Chains A and B, each alone.
Chain A
């Protein structure tokens, strides 16, 4: 893995990106000549009106989709040029995802859910177990390891989701409205957790959110509107 800090190069560089979706004959232009740089160690909040393309941008950075135009460079690697197969392996190594609806596997216990991304590594069973324990401890859910998702509260499920997101120690943690489905108290706990991961463990985090309360926890906030990013909210 290239060291993102030694060249002065930002960890994430999105350059001249456009994204066009096709709905039937209709072309939907979402992002237009978009630029974004995220230095390593930043906790970035991404805000903007619904439908502005926040999730789309996050997916491009996370290698779930490719831009119609422009480049996406993560830790020195041109992600937009990777094949589907390469992208899957790249995501496994570099990206941790946290979803609004947690996306846990209902048939697996918390610890088995957290273990999932580790199945894509060369780690032995014992090593995986250790990593899972560490990740669950970091989110404060060691005592719930053997529980199934349906027996956990929303906040607890999201903490399992975060543990799954960080268990491989990814280069980048991407969260799409991680508190969007939680009440204020549970949401705060999640935000505390993300903040701690950023401050104490140096995790680079990009978080999409609608909630000013959430973005206030980030080290920087950018606003997406009409396909462009700005540092101030648009009226």
Chain B
């Protein structure tokens, strides 16, 4: 017991020398700290893109909401229904109802080109035609400006994300749809979900404008409960008049976001990984020079009876402290720079832009700190072992 306390006292004393001598080595120390900060900032920053995207997609789908597509289609783009089919789907048992009828909205989907505010270049924006049930189906839609479009009129409402990302989407401005100009009459939020990246109009009006006849691409429906999914699905798939695929909205968006979040995560880890290799060498270098500069001090302490193990642990702690300082700086920088940073990206399933906010989540911050810790331990280990292995007599000869 006394031995253990004694050992801690040794470690504490050696660690204190190391930390107290930092001001004399501030150049190398600062380089190491900022190197590690860079790794953590890049890691957390890039992964916050994936986290934000995933969050936006997850916010798009409630558990009791479903999307019905034509069997064999992976996205709305390639799906298609006639009016009659959408009626049958809406009347299927399990679909919630209100006074106006079933909570099912048959929708279609076209892509229009708009100029991005940031670059001025054109990008694809989804223009969705919806039915009256679209609002109760997606119960998180709220108008932040203007009003809902009037049914039967050539008007559109714009998701807050799209309004932020693209020029000319304020209430009162107009957008070009085909050869016509349609006024923007409202801006809506949708809990950060993917609907915020879209422009909506009356499905009937959109069908006419794009010569779609009376066809749709999907049915969005709200069920009585999340538990009603199986009943609803069975009823639809066993109906010989239909050939459909039923997915929960949450699953649908999770699947859509998978490709891109995986890509971003891989990229982020790769870049941060390369930087981390550099940071490890930076830490190695700093700690090797720390050991070299203190060879005589360490040898003296060893001569007085301080243990080799205590030297190793103390130098590892020193390296870890530097790394964690770097990690903290990097995490704070990433948080300040990236959290809630709004961006738009391509949704590869719909080939249109999704807007979302970067999310620097607590998990990402923890992950950054873990990386910093590993860098610190890797960078400190070899120098610490070298310091402990110094032949004392020989080291004392060095001036």
Binding site for B on A (CB under 8 A): 55-56, 59, 62, 64-65, 84-85, 88-93, 95, 97, 99, 101, 103, 105, 107-108, 116-117, 119-122, 164
**Docked CA distance A103–B299 (Å):** 9
**Docked CA distance A93–B297 (Å):** 20
The size bracket of the interface on B is: 20 to 34
Asked if B303 contacts A97 (CB within 8 A), the reply is yes
The closest CB in chain B to the CB of A62 belongs to: B303
Contacts across chains A and B counted by CB atoms under 8 Å: 69
Asked if A120 contacts B399 (CB within 8 A), the reply is no
Q: Is B20 an interface residue (CB 8 A)?
A: yes
A62, A103, A121: the one contacting B300 at CB < 8 Å is A103
- Looking at chain B's contact residues, the main secondary structure is helix
Given the known A-B contacts A91-B305, A119-B9, are A99 and B396 also in contact in the complex, defined by CB atoms under 8 Å? yes
Question: Which of B5, B297, B304, B305 is the most central at the interface, judged by chain A CB atoms within 10 Å of its CB?
Answer: B305
Asked if B296 contacts A64 (CB within 8 A), the reply is no
Q: Which residues of the other chain, A, contact B20 by a CB distance below 8 angstroms? A: 107
Asked if A64 contacts B393 (CB within 8 A), the reply is yes
**Docked CA distance A92–B307 (Å):** 10
Binding site for A on B (CB under 8 A): 2, 5-6, 9-10, 13, 16-17, 20-21, 296-297, 300-308, 391-393, 396-397, 399
Given the known A-B contacts A103-B296, A107-B17, A119-B6, are A59 and B393 also in contact in the complex, defined by CB atoms under 8 Å? yes
B13, B300, B308, B396: the one contacting A119 at CB < 8 Å is B13
Asked if B393 contacts A99 (CB within 8 A), the reply is no
A88-B302, A119-B10 known; 19 other A-B pairs, CB under 8 Å?
A56-B393, A59-B393, A64-B303, A64-B392, A64-B393, A65-B392, A88-B306, A88-B307, A92-B304, A105-B17, A105-B300, A107-B16, A108-B17, A117-B305, A119-B6, A120-B6, A120-B304, A121-B6, A122-B6
Q: Which residues of the other chain, A, contact B391 by a CB distance below 8 angstroms? A: 65
**Docked CA distance A119–B314 (Å):** 15
The closest CB in chain A to the CB of B392 belongs to: A64
The 3 closest A-B pairs by CB, nearest first: A92-B305, A107-B20, A103-B300
The closest CB in chain B to the CB of A121 belongs to: B6
The closest CB in chain A to the CB of B12 belongs to: A119
The closest CB in chain A to the CB of B300 belongs to: A103
The closest CB in chain B to the CB of A107 belongs to: B20
The closest CB in chain B to the CB of A91 belongs to: B305
Asked if B17 contacts A88 (CB within 8 A), the reply is no
**Docked CA distance A117–B303 (Å):** 10
B2, B303, B396: the one contacting A91 at CB < 8 Å is B303
Question: Which of A65, A103, A120, A121 is the most central at the interface, judged by chain B CB atoms within 10 Å of its CB?
Answer: A120
A85, A99, A116: the one contacting B307 at CB < 8 Å is A85
Question: Which of A92, A101, A119, A122 is the most central at the interface, judged by chain B CB atoms within 10 Å of its CB?
Answer: A119
Least CB distance, A41 to chain B, in whole angstroms: 23
Given the known A-B contacts A92-B304, A119-B6, A122-B2, are A101 and B13 also in contact in the complex, defined by CB atoms under 8 Å? no
Q: Which residues of the other chain, B, contact A103 by a CB distance below 8 angstroms? A: 296-297, 300, 396
